[in-house]
Every structure is written in structure tokens, then in C-alpha cells.
Amino acid sequence: MSMLKRRKGSETKKASNSEPQTDKDYETREKERDEKQKKSKQEDYENNKKRNLKKWSCVDSCCWFIGCICSIWWFLLFLYNAMPASFPQYVTEAITGPLPDPPGVKLHKEGLKANHPVVFVPGIVTGGLELWEGHQCAEGLFRKRLWGGTFGEVYKRPLCWVEHMSLDNETGLDPSGVRIRPVSGLVAADYFAAGYFVWAVLIANLARIGYEEKNMYMAAYDWRISFQNTEVRDQTLSRMKSNIELMVATSGGRKVVIIPHSMGVLYFLHFMKWVEAPAPMGGGGGSDWCAKHIKAVMNIGGPFLGVPKAVTGLFSAEAKDIAVARAIAPGVLDMDVFGFQTLQHVMRMIRTWDSTMSMVPKGGDTIWGGLDWSPEEDYECNTKKIKSNDTQTVSQNGKGSSGNAKHANYGRIISFGKDVAEVHSSKIERMDFRGAVKGSNLANTTCRDVWTEYDDMGVGGINAIADYKVYTAGSILDLLHFVAPKMMKRGSAHFSYGIADNLDDKKYEHYKYWSNPLETKLPNAPNMEIFSMYGVGIPTERAYVYKLSPAAGCYIPFQIDTSAEGGLESTCLKGGVLSVDGDETVPVLSAGFMGAKGWRGKTRFNPSGIRTYIREYNHAPPANLLEGRGTQSGAHVDIMGNFALIEDIIRVAAGATGDDLGGDQVYSDIFKWSEKINLRL
């Protein structure tokens, strides 16, 4: 625009210059005047132009900029929509070479057909929860997912969200006026959040060989409440029983294959006892229900004996992830973000969830090790890396290094201070905390509405806990009873963590023992098969080094000591966390012990001799970013996309037995460790 105007201006100038020629005097005068006028005009014009230019540069360029961005955005969107669906795959193939067939396609080519109906039992956290009734603040969220999906509500109204997700502190059921229920159907847990698959890959592959909604069933349950309460409140167990019966009936008497994941494994253990127990407490299915209806149980990443992570979650609401975050940005989590204390709220919420207590380590010192002993003690963290490349050297390495390296004391699940975690037990001075008086109330008004049971504990109590120094799996229960009495009171009515001396004792008919594999017998179903499938090759939390947090009124008084690092020779201790082999969440010991020893052959836990198989999957991280979460992952949730695992499942669903799969497939030292555990079978 400015260019055009300038040119015009110069033209007019020329034209006026060549205009009059008659009277010279007049002309010159005229000319002078003209020139003056012109000058002033030109100045005016220049000024105007400058002003215009300024305006133009400010507003117009802004508009242009926005316009450009918008049109580019639209164009990209258009391109994206016009892109054929196979394009990303095409790019991936161009870069990495042709992908292997997904197992569903491969096995379909081999001629496998849908045979046995399949039941999925999702684990903790991965199942969606939706709102059926809420308080004022949750207006308009009817039948929207509060858990799973985008978690949009967490950001929009965090306090409201926490309030709705919490359960009643006394009963472990819904608080009054709130009803949150599990989402039902396959959508309940196929994707946890958008793009983050849980069951979706498995479902898609099963569909390839002919499965559909009528022979797949997602046994979604409310994973926050204790197992028996899901039946009391929602009749989830009855529902599952009826669905399994229906699927067996409609598919011509073919038994079902159960695929529980994570906590679902414990839930299904509970179910198997429940369904055969007589009516008022159980499902009244009769003692041969499992034998008649179940072909195989394929446990994926099952925390049979609990996970140490659950302890820290209950104790200080932090696991490795949070501890790392705290180390990096010390202020953030402790600050009053958005005017509320994040961790405290999270802890208060988690402590109302009974189900987390089902994952507290079970079996006490016998399984998890005492002060100076633990089954995994000769595990060598350095060798782990070598091992993942070459599995055959494991045993040699283990032997060779056991002489030199100090044993990591995995048995001490919680210890206060790094030195305590390492010295021999005789050198530790311990004060018994059990008698300690819960002194004056720490809470004051500045803590606002945040309520954790720590507030009820005096400084004396807290110090007493720290003075006890070291906690093993056995004493951790006492610790939890001490710091969270209400929760444990509720929990101990629903769960038990011991080892049974005499399984025929009448008391083991109570439902609180049903989810503990060390206190129940497997059902009488000699043709059933139990698979323990889990990933290995990822460092997994096993024990923690704690410290007292700086004494400030409102805070959780303990936190993981992220400064505790192991020496050069043993890298097992990192950021206050001692890790062993596992799938990032569940240690190998917990996932594999029952299959490797506890139930192997005819034992007192497995009176009918149900065959057990261990299938381990070595973790291989995705080769490049395009692969997403990898097809050979061994991580706790990502393993659901592991092709080898999916193939195994499909084969079993299509009718194969454990022996057809090739029996055990072991990469870790699970058999050696299990042997070290001295448990009467």
C-alpha cells in the first residue's frame, strides 16, 4: 500500500511541475507558492504516511499473523483428516523396515479360531470410574468418567474431585450423597487415558481370530473398595459368576480363560474362593464350579504376595516417581499449590481406599526376608545390564560376584538413614515404638481442612517410629497399625497378610483370607491351569531409605531420602530406593513365587495339583520413538502390548495347554530365590 501511494505522489509532482508556461513572473510566484504548498503538503503526507505505517505495523501485522496461523492450522487439520489411516504405519515401515505381523494376524493365518470365551479382570487404577450421584460441585458430570479418560476434572475442580473419589473413612464405602461406580463393558479399561492402551491391543488381536463382544467379558469392578465390598455394594462377584456361566452355556460348554492383570489377580483369587463358598458369604456355586467353568487363569504381572510400593504409598503417599520429582523440584510438591496441599490430599484419599491394602507385602519375614536375610540378597544390580543382553551368563555372574559384593539388605523394607540400611543388624540400636504415647496434637488451625492421621500423632510418636530404625515385612504391619490405625482397622477386616499354619482351620473360611494365596487352598480343579506371566529386566522398588521431613506443622513427617545413593560397586540403591529385578512395579519374587514353588506340584496350598507355568518376558525398550510403548516391553502395564505375551494368550484361548506353549520360560533367578524361602508346603 505504501509503495503505491508514494509512486502516485511523485507523479502528481511531475504533472504539476510541467503545467503552466504563460506568465513567468506569475508563474515563478505561483511556483514558489506552489512549491511551498507542495512541501507542506508533502510533509503532511509524509507524516500521515509514517503514522499510517505505524498503525499498519501494529494492528495489521497482528491480524495477518493470526490469520496466517489460523489458515495454516486449518490446512494442517485438513491434511490430517485427509490422510489415509495407514499413513503413520507406512512411515514407520519406511524407516524401520516392515513390522512383524501383529500376533492376531499371524495366528489367524495359522488357522487359529476363537474357541474359549475370555474374561478380563483389570487391575487397580486402570479401570474407569464414573459418577452416578454427586454433590453440588460435581454438577453436570453425571455418568462422566472421574477416573480414566482425560482426567480433566482433576485440573478443573481438584478439591471436588478428591472429595468424590474418597471413600468413607469408617465403612470403606461411599460417603453419603456420592455414588461412583465402575464403567461397565469392554470400554471400562481398554484405554486408561486417551492413547494409553491397557487392554485395547489384546482385545484387537483377539478380535482378529474371531472374538467379539459375546465371548469377551471385562469384569470391571470398583477397584477402590475391598473385594468383598464390591459384592456387598455392587454384586460384582455375582455378576461375574453369572456372566461366566452365560458364556460357557452359549458357547457350547467351552470353559473360559481368565486373564487378570495386576490387582485383578488377587481379585480373581478372591472370586475363586467366593464362588465355591456357601451362600450367605459366598456365591454358592458348589465345590466343582471352578473345575466346570474355568480352563486357565493367565495372571499378568500378578502381585500375589504384595508389592513394597503399596507400603510407601500408604506410609507417605510417595513412590519412586514422586520421590524423584521431589528431589528435582523440592519446593513444588510441598508448597501449597493452588491453595491446597497436594500430597496430603492424595494421601488422605488413598488411605480411604481399602483395596490398596490388599497389596501390602504378605507372608512376613518368611517371604520377604528378615533384618539380615532376604531371598534376593545375591542379586547383582550391575549384572542386570549384562543379563538383559545375554541370559546365559546369569548364574555364573551371580556366583562369581557373591563373594565380593556386599549383600543388599532387601529384607529391611523401610529403614531410617542410609547407614542403617547397610550395617549388620547387631549394630543397630532400636527403640520399640509400639508403646510410644501419641503425644500432643501436632495439628493446628493452619492445617486447614487437611486431615491425615499424622496430625493425631504427637512428635513423640513420630520420633519413636524413626528410632525403631528398620522395618521388615513383619513389623511393617505394626508400623502401619501405629500410623494409620483407622485404615488398618478397616483393612484388617477384609485382608490378611500372614501364612497359614493349618489350612483346614475353620477360621480360614472367612473372606478376609481369600485373597491371600498363603492362607487359602486353590479350588479342587485338577484340569485347570495357572499361568504367571510377567516382565523381567527392569529395576523394581523393593526397599526404601527414609528420613524425617523438616518439621513443619502440616506435612507428612516422613519422606524418602533421595540423597541416599549406593556406592560404585552396588548400584541397587538409587535415590533412596533399593531395587531388584521385576516389571517396574511388582518384584519377581511376588509375581513368580506361587507359580515357581508355592503351588508347584501338589502342595498344601494346591491340594488338587493344578499345573502352574511361569512365562517371563524379558524387557526390551522400544527401539525408536515411532514404536510407541514397544512390542517387547516388560513393564507392568506396557506388557499388555507385548507380542509374545499376546501370542501366548491367543494360543491358550484357542485351545492350547501350557505344555503346548513350551512350559516355563524363565529369565530371572526366581527358582533359586524361591528355594531359599523356607516355607512348609
Partner 1 sequence: LFRKRLWGGSFTEIFKRFGWPLCWLEHLSLHNETGLDPPGIRVRAVSGLVAADYFAPGYFVWAVLIQNLARIGYEGKNMYMAAYDWRLSFQNTEIRDQALSRLKSKIELMYVTNGSKKVVVVPHSMGVIYFLHFLKWVESPPPMGGGGGPGWCAKHIKAIMNIGPAFLGVPKAVSGMLSAEARDIAVIRAVAPGFLDSKFLRLQTLEHVMRVSRTWDSIVSLMPKGGETIWGNLDWSPEEEHDCDSAKKRYLQCSLSEKNTNHSNEKRGFQAKERMKYGRIISFGKAASELPSSQLPTLGSKELLRTSTSSNSDASCGEVWTEYDEMSRESIQKVAENKAYTARTLIDLLRFVAPKMMQRAEAHFSHGIAENLDDPKYAHYKYWSNPLETKLPEAPDMEIYCLYGVGIPTERSYVYKLSPSDRCNSIPFQIDTSADGSDGGGCLKGGVYFVDGDESVPVLSAGFMCAKGWRGRTRFNPSGIATYIREYQHKPPASLLEGRGVESGAHVDIMGNVALIEDVLRVAAGATGAELGGDRIYSDIIKMSERINIRL
Catalytic residue numbers, as ranges: 262, 583, 636
Stretch in the footprint of partner 1 (CB under 8 A) among 232-240, 271-279, 554-562, 636-644 = 232-240
Q: Is 254 in the site for partner 1 (CB under 8 A)?
A: no
242 binds partner 1 (CB under 8 A): yes
**541: which strand partners?**
579
By beta-carbon proximity to partner 1, the closer residue of 85 and 194 is 85
The closest alpha carbon to 592, from 304, 336, 352, belongs to: 304
Angle at 179 between CA 178 and CA 180, to 5 degrees: 120
* Residues 199, 200, 202, 207, CA torsion sign: positive
The candidate with the shortest Cα–Cα distance to 665, out of 651, 638, 645, is: 645
Q: Which stretch binds partner 1 (CB under 8 A): 241-249, 352-360, 582-590, 658-666?
A: 241-249
Q: C-alpha distances in angstroms, 207 versus 127, 372, 598?
A: 21, 51, 35
* Residue 324 touches partner 1, criterion: CB under 8 A: no
Q: Does 249 bind partner 1 (CB under 8 A)?
A: yes
- 81 is a contact residue toward partner 1 (CB under 8 A): yes
Q: Taking the complex as a whole, how short is the minimal distance between the CB of residue 104 and partner 1, in angstroms?
A: 11
In whole angstroms, the minimum distance from the beta carbon of 58 to partner 1 comes to 41
**Nearer Cβ to partner 1, position 217 or 416?**
217
Backbone phi and psi for residue 483, each to the nearest 5 degrees, phi listed first: -85, -25
CB 622 to partner 1: min, Å: 22
Nearer to partner 1, 46 or 212 (CB): 212
CA dihedral 76, 78, 83, 84 (to 10 degrees): 160
212 binds partner 1 (CB under 8 A): yes
Instruction: Tell me the closest approach of the beta carbon of residue 258 to partner 1, in angstroms.
Output: 19
H helix intervals, 167-254: 200-208, 227-229, 236-250
Contact window for partner 1 (CB under 8 A) among 47-55, 207-215, 417-425, 482-490: 207-215
CB of 176 to partner 1, least distance (A): 13
Side chain identity, residue 338: F
CB of 653 to partner 1, least distance (A): 17
Least separation in angstroms between CB 439 and partner 1:
45
Residue 133 touching partner 1 (CB under 8 A): yes
Out of 27, 34, 163, 245, which residue is the one contacting partner 1 (CB under 8 A)?
245
| Stretch near partner 1 under the rule CB under 8 A, chosen from 120-128, 153-161, 245-253, 384-392 | 245-253
User: 458 and 438 in contact (C-beta within 8 Å)?
Assistant: yes
**CA 401/CA 676 separation, integer angstroms:** 18
Residue 168: other Cβ atoms inside 10 A: 13
Distance CA 26, CA 42 (A): 23
Of 169 and 238, nearer to partner 1 (C-beta) is 238
Q: Interface residues for partner 1 in 410-449 (CB under 8 A)?
A: none
288 binds partner 1 (CB under 8 A): no
Residues in the chain: 681
In angstroms, give the least distance from the CB of 105 to partner 1.
Answer: 12
Alpha carbon distance 321, 303 (integer Å): 19
Establish if 110 lies at the interface with partner 1 (CB under 8 A): no
Report how far residue 647's alpha carbon sits from residue 651's, in angstroms, rounded to the nearest whole number. Answer: 6
User: Of 214 and 489, which has the nearer Cβ to partner 1?
Assistant: 214
Mark the segment that binds partner 1 (CB under 8 A) among 204-212, 298-306, 563-571, 650-658. Answer: 204-212
Give the distance, in angstroms, between the CA of residue 2 and the centroid of all CA atoms in the same chain.
61
CA distance 449 to 554: 11
When the beta carbons of 134 and 566 are compared against partner 1, the nearer one is 134
Q: Is 178:159 a contact under the CB 8 Å cutoff?
A: no
Grid coordinates of 616? 517371563
Query: Segment near partner 1 (CB under 8 A), from 9-17, 39-47, 236-244, 424-432?
Result: 236-244
Phi, psi torsion values for 475, nearest 5 degrees: -80, -15
CA 323 to chain centre: 16
According to the binding rule CB under 8 A, does residue 346 interact with partner 1? Answer: no
Which residue number, 243 or 571, has a Cβ lying nearer to partner 1? 243
Residues 2, 53 contacting (CB under 8 angstroms): yes
Q: Is 639 in the site for partner 1 (CB under 8 A)?
A: no
Helix (H, G, I), strand (E, B) or coil at 551: coil
Verify binding: residue 395, partner 1, rule CB under 8 A. Answer: no
- Please tell me whether residue 142 binds partner 1 under the rule CB under 8 A: yes
Kindly identify the residues of this chain, within the stretch 148-187, that bind partner 1 according to CB under 8 A. 179, 181-182, 184-187
Would you count residue 214 as binding partner 1 (CB under 8 A)? yes
DSSP state of 110: T
Secondary structure string (H, E, C) spanning 305-337: CCCHHHHHHHHHCCCHHHHHHHHHCHHHHHCCH
Q: In this complex, which beta carbon is closest to partner 1, that of residue 186 or of residue 499?
A: 186
Q: Which residues pair with 544 in a beta bridge?
A: 414, 577
Name which of 93 and 133 has its Cβ closer to partner 1.
133
Structural contact between residues 495 and 250, judged by C-beta atoms closer than 8 angstroms:
no
Q: Does 204 bind partner 1 (CB under 8 A)?
A: yes
Q: How far is the CB of 238 from partner 1 (least distance, A)?
A: 5
Q: Are 311 and 360 in contact (CB under 8 A)?
A: yes
246 lies in the site for partner 1, by CB under 8 A: yes
Instruction: Give the C-alpha separation, 193 to 169, whole Å.
Output: 28
Binder of partner 1 out of 96, 250, 287, 563 (CB under 8 A): 250
Contacts of 543 (CB under 8 A, 6+ apart): 308, 408, 409, 410, 411, 412, 413, 414, 415, 421, 577, 578
By rule CB under 8 A, what count of residues binds partner 1? Answer: 30
* Rounded CA separation 408/580 (Å): 10
Q: Considering the complex, what minimum distance in angstroms separates the CB of residue 224 from partner 1? A: 15
State the minimum distance, in angstroms, from the CB of residue 179 to partner 1. Answer: 6
Closer by beta carbon to partner 1, 221 or else 471 = 221
Residue among 249 and 552 whose Cβ is closer to partner 1:
249
Interface residue list for partner 1 (CB under 8 A): 81, 85, 132-133, 142-143, 179, 181-182, 184-187, 190, 203-204, 207, 212-214, 234-235, 238-239, 242-243, 245-246, 249-250
